[in-house]
Amino acid sequence: MGLNDVGAFALRQLDPETAHGLAITALKTLPLPAAAPDDPILRTTLAGLELPNPVGLAAGLDKNAEALAGLSRLGFGFVECGSVTPLAQDGNPKPRLFRLSQDRAIINRMGFNNAGLEAFASHLANRPAGCVVGANLGANKQTEDRAADYVTGLRRLNGLADYFTVNISSPNTPGLRALQGRAALDDLLGRVNAARQPGTGPVFLKIAPDLTAEEIGMIVEAALAHRIDALIMSNTTLDRPDSLRSPDRGESGGLSGAPLKDRAFYALRAASEAGQGQIPLIAVGGIGSGEDAYARIRAGASAIQVYSALIYEGPGLVGRIKRDLARRLRADGFSTVHQAIGTAR
């Protein structure tokens, strides 16, 4: 267990939100050593972005893009910050973050707590060089025109973020998931597409896992129609599997971590089947090993993201996933990540 992983173990002994705050402070201030250079076999592209490896950090850890100095040194191929809303908001009342240790899972009902778009933009303006950074965009809870909030975020962060994620799948902002219906989705994506400016980075769409294959197919169709560059499959789930054992399993909010694995995999496969290689997919949900990452890539993902597993495995998990992924690619005769995408469809 490395020093960083020992720190992760110590943080798990604290209240989850207190631990999260201390982790952000450490990533901002500690002189962390840079990760070892990536194996060349892991170099890949995602929607035109050049990545040193396909292992990304999912949104939610660094909501305000303030810890990039540390995150950029942990070995991720790309880092997604947010969700950020135009105006600062406190989010839902505490407690709102629950560690389900027996299940290697998390339940959160944070409610897009963040410092707002201007603080986010100022942090991105001073980001470290050489790190691919995405901005996960959300809508304020009290906003009547939710689509306008995404457009505001896209315009304000143009030139500061390498890519943008339109997050319409958080279960913790009332009514947000209704944007996944076709009429609302066409309106939203049409307005987002119209707001793109010269030099605007790729735009991704993050959807919920609590959808049928038919609903996912409809979203893929809408994404293609509105020139969305990739889909993130997928956000947290409202489902509560019978297998959950931890005392806080009945808390409301989105469930992430190991119990999300099968549902997220199903959503990925449905999107892969619907998209037929026409739109890149990013897999997230229940990924905690190189074996998990490789299975998602072979099921159709161009890249993967992790978050909840880091809480239980520590930041050393990133390197372990990359080493195992490189080994598995070579064992199966692949010379690039791209060659392996969708080979198990």
Residue whose structure tokens are 């390498």: 162
Q: Provide the pLDDT for residue 254.
A: 98
CATH number for the domain whose boundaries are 3-340: 3.20.20.70
Catalytic residue among 72, 83, 169, 170: 170
pTM: 0.95
Domain ranges of the chain: 3-340
Residues 6 or more apart whose Cβ sits within 8 Å of residue 77? 38, 42, 44, 51, 52, 53, 54, 55, 56, 132, 303
Torsion angle of C-alpha atoms 270, 272, 273, 274, degrees rounded to 10? 80
What is the rounded distance in angstroms from the CA atom of residue 41 to the CA atom of residue 183? 42
Asked if residues 258 and 99 have their Cβ atoms less than 8 Å apart, the reply is no
3-state secondary structure of 217: helix
- 335 an active-site residue? no
Q: Which helix (H) or strand (E) holds 117?
A: helix 117-125
- Contact criterion met (CB below 8 Å) for 124 and 157: yes
Q: Give the model's pLDDT for residue 4.
A: 62
> Which stretches of the chain score pLDDT less than 70?
1-10
pLDDT score of 1: 46
d(Cα 4, Cα 9) in Å, to the nearest integer?
9
